[in-house]
Amino acid sequence: MVTIKKNIYWVGGVDWNIRDFHGYTTEEGSSYNAYLIIDEKITLIDTVKGYLYEEMLSRISEIIDPAKIDNIISLHTEMDHSGALPEIYKVAKNAKIYASPQGVIGLKKHYPELKEIATCEEGSTLNTGKYTFTFHLAQMLHWPDNMAAYLGEEKILFSNDAFGQHIASSVHFDDMYSEGMFFRQAMKYYANIVQCYNERVVAFAKKAVMPHDIEIICPSHGIIIRKYTKEIIAKYIEWATNTVKKKALVVYDSMWESTDKLARQIQRGLEDSGVETSLCDLKYNHISDIMTDVLDSAAIIVGSPTLNSNMLPNVAAFLCYLKGLAPVKRIGMAFGSFGWNGQGHKQVHSILSELKEWDVSLEPLGVKYIPTEEELAMVYQKGKSIASLIENTVK
């Protein structure tokens, strides 16, 4: 039994073996966090992925007879949290379901058998006896229907996908888990799921986080936060406001190692100028991991050779993913080797130029066939030029 506070329990399911969450690598697995709150009226917040229903049911049954659940609050329609809702609803026959306005629409479309769903508006409340939940709509964090619930009497924010991390663990609290791993997974989660909604995060923080005294954050994935509550809130604000470090990410694919040579020269020029760098060959690094580095990098330097008059497919996939997650206000530069026409790095430059408020003033850098010593020296200097731009941009 996982007790968060007296009468408040984690009753979720642990997805130990999941390694791919629609294209996002989940090397630490994940969990789907459901919460049970015992009061005069008994409340279940969220459920789990369908296949983990029995696990959730057994955890609930350790505490109460599941038939006694009075309220089921669905903070989010996505099936990792609502998948077991129809099953638990068959057991908790008298339960009333609550969801946001978009959540009501979403749940009815996903599960037509759920007939009655009450709508929670921004700031509306649900009293269960000695406890009152206050609802805050969290539109586009990361679906239109997301919602959070604040339990003022216990200073707990049930934040749903916000503040989540994909972590499977037999311990459920941040003070019992690796600090480094917790923050790295929270950052990866933000970079891959929340990043494109930065402005929404700031708006959400203003209405649902800042006005409340929050001791514990209960997200819908991963570890419950009670030690690093202030720190993770500060990190969210930092990430949401595009706060970057004097750091550059060099990301590329290569065919015959010429573009690889260019990448390494750029990286060395940056490093020798005192800029923190990451070098990622797309053949060996997953785009969802690279995105974690994008989150706090001031410069994103992207390289591709030319294949069949195009950039390499790995680079195209990275740029497509990057464009979707829409980081703003970065320095971008393209580079690559080529044999005859050299379209690859020019295409990269063209896509980087489309990104919002990106500085792509550095000319794309192309080198024919294998770079000479002189060309490598020139590319090294280009790394130094990028470093100067970073130095002038990041204060």
Active-site residue, 189 included: yes
**Is 144 or 342 the residue whose CB approaches ligand FEO more closely?**
144
Is 73:126 a contact under the CB 8 Å cutoff? yes
Residues near 314 by beta carbon (within 8 Å), at least 6 away in sequence: 253, 282, 283
286 is catalytic: no
By beta-carbon proximity to ligand FEO, the closer residue of 81 and 349 is 81
Per-residue binder mask for ligand FEO (CB under 6 A), 214-233, x = binder: ------xx------------
Least separation in angstroms between residue 35's CB and ligand FEO is 14
The only residue of 49, 59, 81, 345 in contact with ligand FEO, by rule CB under 6 A: 81
174 part of the interface to ligand FEO, by CB under 6 A: no
Q: Which of 76, 81, 345, 349 is catalytic?
A: 76
Which of residues 141 and 351 has its CB atom nearest to ligand FEO in the complex? Answer: 141
CA distance readout (Å), 132 to 37, 41, 128: 11, 11, 6
Query: Which of 78, 145, 253, 375 touches ligand FEO (CB under 6 A)?
Result: 78
Catalytic site includes residue 136: no
Nearest to 129 by CA among 148, 153, 147, 150: 153
Shortest distance in whole angstroms from residue 221 CB to ligand FEO: 6
76 interacts with ligand FEO by CB under 6 A: yes
110-169: contacts with ligand FEO (CB under 6 A): 142-143, 161
> Which one of 89, 111, 131, 142 is the catalytic residue?
142
Choosing from 221, 228, 345, 375, the catalytic residue is: 221
How many C-alpha atoms does 110 have within 13 Å on its Cβ side? 21
Tell me, yes or no, if 76 is annotated catalytic: yes
Q: Give me the sign of the Cα torsion angle 139, 145, 146, 150.
A: positive
| 166 in catalytic set | no
User: Which residues between 309 and 368 bind ligand FEO (CB under 6 A)?
Assistant: none
Which residue blocks in 111-246 are alpha helix, DSSP H?
179-189, 198-204, 229-240
Q: How far is CA 263 from CA 241, 368, 376, in A?
A: 29, 15, 10
Q: How far is the CB of 186 from ligand FEO (least distance, A)?
A: 14
Active-site annotation holds for 78: yes
Q: Are strands 310-311 and 306-307 parallel, antiparallel or unpaired?
A: antiparallel
| Catalytic annotation present for 24 | no
Residue 80 interacts with ligand FEO (CB under 6 A)?
A: yes
Contact indicator for 268, 383 with CB cutoff of 8 Å? yes
**213 a catalytic residue:** no
Report the C-alpha gap between 305 and 329 in whole angstroms: 26
Of 32, 150, 189, 236, which is the active-site residue?
Answer: 189
Cα–Cα distance, 31 to 47 (Å, whole number): 11
User: Given the structure tokens 């919002």, which residue do they identify?
Assistant: 356
- Supply the minimum distance, in Å, between the C-beta of residue 388 and ligand FEO: 41
Distance CA 47, CA 45 (A): 7
- Please report whether residue 293 would count as binding ligand FEO according to CB under 6 A: no
Buried b (16+ CB within 10 A) or exposed e, 265-284: bbbbbbeebebbbbbbbbee
Q: Hey, which residues are catalytic here?
A: 22, 76, 78, 80, 142, 161, 189, 221
Q: State the residues that interact with ligand FEO by CB under 6 A.
A: 76, 78, 80-81, 142-143, 161, 220-221
